Copies of this chain bind each other. A is one copy, B any other.
Amino acid sequence: MNLDPNTDLTFTRRLKVPRALVWKCWTTPEHIRNFFVPRPHTIEACDIDLRVGGRFNTTMNVDGNRMENKGVYLEIIDGARLVFTDTYGEGWKPAADPFMTAILDLSDDDDGGTIYTATARHRSPEACKRHEDMGFFGGWGTVVTQLEEYAQSLG
Contact = CB atoms under 8 A, between A and B. Distances in A.
A124 B95 CA distance: 8
A101 B95 contact: no
* Binding site secondary structure of chain A: loop
A126 to B, nearest CB: 10
Q: Which of A1, A75, A92 has the most CB of B within 10 A?
A: A92
A39 interface: no
Contacts of A95: 123
A113 B49 CA distance: 33
A115 interface: no
A88 B72 CA distance: 14
Contacts of A1: 91-92
A83 B94 contact: no
Count of chain copies: 2
A122 interface: yes
A93 interface: yes
A121 interface: yes
Given A53-B74, A53-B75, A121 B92 contact: yes
B52 A74 contact: yes
18 contacts: A1-B92, A7-B93, A52-B52, A53-B74, A53-B83, A74-B88, A75-B92, A83-B92, A87-B87, A87-B88, A87-B94, A88-B101, A92-B103, A94-B100, A94-B121, A94-B122, A96-B123, A96-B124
The 5 closest A-B pairs by CB, nearest first: A1-B91, A94-B123, A92-B101, A53-B75, A96-B123
